[in-house]
A and B are shown apart, each in its own frame.
Chain A
Amino acid sequence: MIPKNLTAASTKLIILGILRQGNSYGYLIIKKIKELSGGKMKYSDGMLYPVLHNLEKEGLIQSEWVMQDDARPRKYYAITENGKKELVAEREHWVHVNSVLEAIWQLKPTK
């Protein structure tokens, strides 16, 4: 199980990443995350929404209610241009962290 704080730190990136694929709504997003992490990332579903609303407030995503005749109305979220930029930046950070970690795995214990 992945620790909580690590989950929290990566949520923003994960959501932006998922939305880059295409617009989606809350329930689908969380389903997708669970799928991708193979259940390793444990969320309480509810905690997703404050993050979504915060991202929207920061202008990284935007939302829209979509009414359909045959299904429930859904609040769809879409990534904005700013969001895309942010994603690139975030990604770089993570790549950077990753490369540091990689380097650390290579280190041999010195005697």
Chain B
Amino acid sequence: MFDLEKEIKQWLKSFRKHRAFDHGSVREMELHLRDHIEDLMASGHSEQEAFKLAVAEFGDINSMAGEEFLNLKRKTTWRSVIHAAMVKNYYFTAIRHFLRHRNYFLINLSGLTIGMACFIMISLYVVNELSYDRFHSNVNNIYRVNTKFTNPNGAGDRAVSHSPLARTMLNTYPEVESATRVLRIGTLRIGTIDSGREHYSEDGILYTDSSFFDVFDFKLVKGDPKTALVKPASLVLTETYAKKYFGDEDPIGKQIAVEDDNRFFYVVTGVVADVPANSHIQFDMLISLSTSELWNDDRWIASSGVHTYLELRRDADAKALEKKMQDVVYKYLGPEIEHYSGLTMAQWEKAGGYTGYYLIALKNIHLYSTSTEELEPGGRISYLVIYALVALIILFIAIFNFVNMATAQSALRAKEVGVRKVVGSTRGGLVFQFLLESVIVSLLAAIVAGILVTLLSPMFTGLLGKQLAFGIASHYVGLLSLLTLAVVVGLLAGAYPAFVLSAILPIDVLKGTLHKGTRAGWVRNFLVVAQFTASMVIIIGTMVVYQQLDFMLTRNLGFNKDNILVIQRPDVLKEGQETFKNGLLANPNISVVAHSNTLPGKAYPERSYRPKDHDESFVFKFNHVSHTFRDVMGLEMVTGRFFSKEHRLDSNAVVINEAAAKAFGFENPIGQQLTSPWHQGEFLTIIGVVKDFNFESLHKPIAPIAMELMPENSNQGGFITVRIGSDENMRKTVQYIESTWARHSNGKLFEAFFFDNDYEKLYQSEIATGKVLVVFASLSIFIACLGLVALLAYTVALRKKEIGVRKILGAGMGSLVNLLSADVAKLITIAALVAWPLAYLGTRYWLQNFVDQIEIKAWLYLSATGVVVLICGVAVSFQVVKAAMENPVHSLRQE
């Protein structure tokens, strides 16, 4: 039997499949069909025929749905979803919701705030590093000439080049628009006329050509950039230093005395704005390079190494120029090489000699340079990647917190969603509402985070050991990015909750079949696992970094770098070196004093040795040392002995390290005889082998080294090293050393540093990374725990009644705690299982940077996991125990 009602219902169902039709439209179609059927029946068709005809004439529903869907798309513009009145309503609903659930809201907010603050700080640092030298308007056309060389004294890649190069490049190649040289010679003692004999030691001094301001954009506040550095003895001060020397007076034209140069007074010709922190050229004052003729003659090899910067024409091809400029080597350097080596260029090259120039782009100097003798220690791009990763991870941990809380709390919003839907809210409208809510939270968090970052940035720069060129509020771009960050984080954090919340069906809410707090449980679990995995990886990573640093900088050095004061330029003592050293030893707190040509971590020359009766020569790194060097450095002997005063013949003795012994292939190196071109035919005897020590970079394997005794009473340069007995009286001892120096040096500048400080500066990136990681690892675990606690507090609140009932039925404290924390324990176990392999791979990758790596032991993983479990346990147990202790009467009384 044909049932019209049933058929119509069936027909209408095919509309409901399509999202394009809302309830009203479907009703409209139904009425149309009924009207049509009525008409058809009136004209004599049977009910069934009428239905069939009407449906046929109505046409294909799918293509209609397609049309309608296009409409819908056109319809879902901003304006149709968001009515101004509704935005206001959404806003107040959000605020009301926050206030009603104040505690959860505050936890959410603080997690997000800390996460964002971390992210902003690290990003500031990363952006700062990436921004190095980019403030010069010609940054893309400026290059520095580096030198690569190999010769009997060693091989290297230097940031400096020969002094006449700049001039030659400018005159030879039309591509070079302008060229300037920068020379750094260390510390000078400087005074003003008014200060009398009082002198300041200044080490931020650069000598530069007058073209310095053509190439670079350092801004001259006073004076003429064209002429400021033309005349000899012209001096340009930074604003800070102008103030330091002359206060509020106009410094232009003032005279300055330089101690080592009593030919004339220097004249201040300009004041330059303070150098931005993101410049690889840092200075407090500039002096014209024309001041000394030494720097401007035609000698190449004998010249001081200067940093040569070239500004190329806009259309110049740097690669091509780099190739062409090797001609300079043959034309100008060649004759000098022939002169000094006594070989023709061809012979020299055949013997392995090489010198070549290459160009490094100004913007790459800070992060990518591998050269020695940089003006400032550079950064490392690989560390920046680590920083960026850590920043992102922390941000996401915070975002996941937000997502978790918002979805867990969906039950709180279910009624609202149901009612909104019933009175006609579209899904788009609801999505917008919840996104708006999360953006409001994240805007609040961003504001607080911005303030936090500004307040805490001195601590952060202290941690990093370097200044930042700009902060979040120093430029409108910073504030704009903060706003963008807030919106992006808001959208990221809000997207999934909005999707979940807007999907709530009113029917479920009204029927009461909505499962409280369990919706999308697996997503939440997944996010919790992700958070703790990330935290654990960071913690394990941090522990590995710390262990490696400790290993490198103390245990594996092979020498003792602590409590050593290094005095530079002992050559200024002339013949007084020995009496100076003896004078030092008079202090009971000074145990040993040594003299050496170079020190661990500094540059080494090379010498070649040939074992007697062999025809093969070996080129080793070389150091001249006094016989006390071993005692000062704490070197360990493997066999034989070190140089000693008792042995008169030690002037023809050599001490080598294990690597050198291995290179020679001697089974018993002691007593073996060597020849060296430096000793013209005399034989040298190996008297001892020291245990390998890291005398060069820790990033390189230990090379062979040979040490010879420094001739007595030599007034060579190098370093005097003083081992100081104990940390107490350190200040007094240093004062004693300084005054002894003053007595013997005829008032020459005392330049000294603590060896460990100086040595650790070489590994500043590593040490800073270690410290930064520790701080952020702890913050990451803190944020993750914050989220977990909030989540747990919420579930406990939901299960309050259940707990009450269980208690009444006789559940003990233990089983309740077990009940509540079992899930958490499961999640953390999974997180640990995921984190271990990830951390293993990550740390292995990082450790590849080092030659001598620590072994990653299993206990490290276990203890990292233990730390996380412990922290979580403490955080969670408070909630759980509180819930388990609660008197069931309170939770059950309500009804």
**Residues of A in contact with B (beta carbons under 8 Å apart):** 25-27, 31, 43-47, 49-51, 53-54, 57, 65, 72-75
Kindly provide the distance from the CB of B139 to the nearest chain A CB, expressed in whole angstroms.
53
Flag whether B727 is at the interface (Cβ < 8 A): no
Kindly provide the distance from the CB of B37 to the nearest chain A CB, expressed in whole angstroms.
11
Flag whether B298 is at the interface (Cβ < 8 A): no
Q: A49-B29, A57-B74 are in contact. List 17 more A-B contacts (CB 8 A).
A: A26-B32, A27-B35, A31-B39, A45-B32, A46-B29, A46-B58, A46-B59, A46-B60, A47-B63, A47-B64, A49-B68, A53-B25, A53-B68, A65-B24, A72-B31, A75-B27, A75-B31
Give bound CA distance, A50 to B28, whole Å. 12
Which of B36, B67, B70, B75 counts the most chain A CB atoms within 10 A? B67
Interface pair B74/A54, CB less than 8 Å apart: yes
Find chain B residues with CB under 8 A from A43 CB.
59
Find chain A residues with CB under 8 A from B185 CB.
none
Q: A27-B36, A46-B59 are in contact. Are A74 and B31 (CB under 8 A)?
A: yes
Interface pair B25/A44, CB less than 8 Å apart: no
Contact string, B16-59, partner A, CB cutoff 8 A, digits 1/0?
00000000110111011011100100000000000000000111
Interchain CB contact (< 8 A) of A45 among B25, B34, B59, B75? B59
Flag whether B193 is at the interface (Cβ < 8 A): no
Find chain A residues with CB under 8 A from B57 CB.
44-45
Interface pair B36/A49, CB less than 8 Å apart: no
Which of A43, A45, A57, A72 counts the most chain B CB atoms within 10 A? A45
Interface residues of B in 66-80 (CB under 8 A from A): 67-68, 70-71, 74-75
Q: A44-B58, A72-B35 are in contact. Are A50 and B67 (CB under 8 A)?
A: yes
Interface pair A44/B32, CB less than 8 Å apart: no
Find chain B residues with CB under 8 A from A46 CB.
29, 58-61, 64
Find chain A residues with CB under 8 A from B61 CB.
46
Give bound CA distance, A44 to B71, whole Å. 18
Interface pair A57/B71, CB less than 8 Å apart: yes
**Residues of B in contact with A (beta carbons under 8 Å apart):** 24-25, 27-29, 31-32, 34-36, 39, 57-61, 63-64, 67-68, 70-71, 74-75
Find chain B residues with CB under 8 A from A51 CB.
67
Interface pair A72/B28, CB less than 8 Å apart: no
Interface pair B32/A27, CB less than 8 Å apart: yes
- A-B pairs with beta carbons under 8 Å apart, 10 shown: A26-B31, A45-B32, A45-B59, A46-B29, A46-B60, A49-B68, A51-B67, A53-B71, A72-B34, A75-B27
Interface pair B29/A73, CB less than 8 Å apart: no
Find chain B residues with CB under 8 A from A47 CB.
59, 63-64, 67
Interchain CB contact (< 8 A) of A26 among B28, B39, B63, B74? B28
Q: A27-B32, A44-B59, A45-B36 are in contact. Are A50 and B75 (CB under 8 A)?
A: no
Find chain B residues with CB under 8 A from A44 CB.
57-60, 64
Kindly provide the distance from the CB of A95 to the nearest chain B CB, expressed in whole angstroms.
28
Q: A44-B57, A75-B28 are in contact. Are A50 and B34 (CB under 8 A)?
A: no
Give bound CA distance, A91 to B34, whole Å. 34
Give bound CA distance, A25 to B70, whole Å. 22
Find chain A residues with CB under 8 A from B35 CB.
27, 72
Find chain A residues with CB under 8 A from B36 CB.
27, 45
Kindly provide the distance from the CB of B770 to the nearest chain A CB, expressed in whole angstroms.
62
**9 closest Cβ pairs, A-B complex:** A44-B59, A50-B67, A27-B35, A46-B64, A46-B59, A50-B68, A45-B58, A46-B58, A27-B32
- By secondary structure, the A interface counts as helix
Find chain A residues with CB under 8 A from B29 CB.
46, 49
Give bound CA distance, A3 to B164, whole Å. 87
Find chain B residues with CB under 8 A from A72 CB.
31, 34-35
Specify the chain B residue showing the minimal Cβ separation from A53. B71
Kindly provide the distance from the CB of B31 to the nearest chain A CB, expressed in whole angstroms.
6
Kindly provide the distance from the CB of B250 to the nearest chain A CB, expressed in whole angstroms.
71
Interface pair A73/B31, CB less than 8 Å apart: yes
Specify the chain A residue showing the minimal Cβ separation from B54. A45
Specify the chain A residue showing the minimal Cβ separation from B35. A27
Find chain B residues with CB under 8 A from A65 CB.
24
Find chain A residues with CB under 8 A from B64 CB.
44, 46-47, 49-50
Kindly provide the distance from the CB of A35 to the nearest chain B CB, expressed in whole angstroms.
12
Give bound CA distance, A54 to B36, whole Å. 23
Give bound CA distance, A73 to B30, whole Å. 11
Give bound CA distance, A51 to B59, whole Å. 15
Kindly provide the distance from the CB of B23 to the nearest chain A CB, expressed in whole angstroms.
12
Give bound CA distance, A27 to B32, whole Å. 5
Give bound CA distance, A45 to B31, whole Å. 13
Specify the chain B residue showing the minimal Cβ separation from A28. B35
Kindly provide the distance from the CB of B619 to the nearest chain A CB, expressed in whole angstroms.
84
Give bound CA distance, A72 to B24, whole Å. 14
Find chain A residues with CB under 8 A from B67 CB.
47, 50-51
Find chain A residues with CB under 8 A from B24 CB.
65, 75
Find chain B residues with CB under 8 A from A75 CB.
24, 27-28, 31
Find chain A residues with CB under 8 A from B28 CB.
26, 49, 75
Specify the chain B residue showing the minimal Cβ separation from A73. B31
Kindly provide the distance from the CB of A102 to the nearest chain B CB, expressed in whole angstroms.
33
Specify the chain B residue showing the minimal Cβ separation from A50. B67
Give bound CA distance, A58 to B221, whole Å. 62
Give bound CA distance, A50 to B63, whole Å. 10
Interface pair B60/A49, CB less than 8 Å apart: no
Kindly provide the distance from the CB of A38 to the nearest chain B CB, expressed in whole angstroms.
16
Find chain A residues with CB under 8 A from B31 CB.
25-27, 72-75
Find chain A residues with CB under 8 A from B34 CB.
72
Kindly provide the distance from the CB of B669 to the nearest chain A CB, expressed in whole angstroms.
94
Find chain B residues with CB under 8 A from A49 CB.
25, 28-29, 32, 64, 68
Give bound CA distance, A51 to B61, whole Å. 14
Which of B29, B57, B71 counts the most chain A CB atoms within 10 A? B71
Kindly provide the distance from the CB of A106 to the nearest chain B CB, expressed in whole angstroms.
39
Give bound CA distance, A72 to B27, whole Å. 11
Kindly provide the distance from the CB of A30 to the nearest chain B CB, expressed in whole angstroms.
8
Find chain B residues with CB under 8 A from A25 CB.
31
Give bound CA distance, A109 to B63, whole Å. 43
Specify the chain B residue showing the minimal Cβ separation from A57. B75
Kindly provide the distance from the CB of B22 to the nearest chain A CB, expressed in whole angstroms.
10
Kindly provide the distance from the CB of A39 to the nearest chain B CB, expressed in whole angstroms.
12
Find chain A residues with CB under 8 A from B75 CB.
57
Give bound CA distance, A65 to B29, whole Å. 13
Kindly provide the distance from the CB of A44 to the nearest chain B CB, expressed in whole angstroms.
2
Give bound CA distance, A98 to B34, whole Å. 39
Which of A53, A57, A72, A74 counts the most chain B CB atoms within 10 A? A53
Find chain A residues with CB under 8 A from B70 CB.
50
Specify the chain A residue showing the minimal Cβ separation from B65. A50
Specify the chain A residue showing the minimal Cβ separation from B57. A45
Specify the chain A residue showing the minimal Cβ separation from B15. A46
Specify the chain B residue showing the minimal Cβ separation from A44. B59
Give bound CA distance, A27 to B67, whole Å. 19
Interface pair B71/A50, CB less than 8 Å apart: yes
Give bound CA distance, A65 to B63, whole Å. 26
Specify the chain B residue showing the minimal Cβ separation from A34. B57
Find chain B residues with CB under 8 A from A73 CB.
31
Which of B32, B58, B61, B75 counts the most chain A CB atoms within 10 A? B32
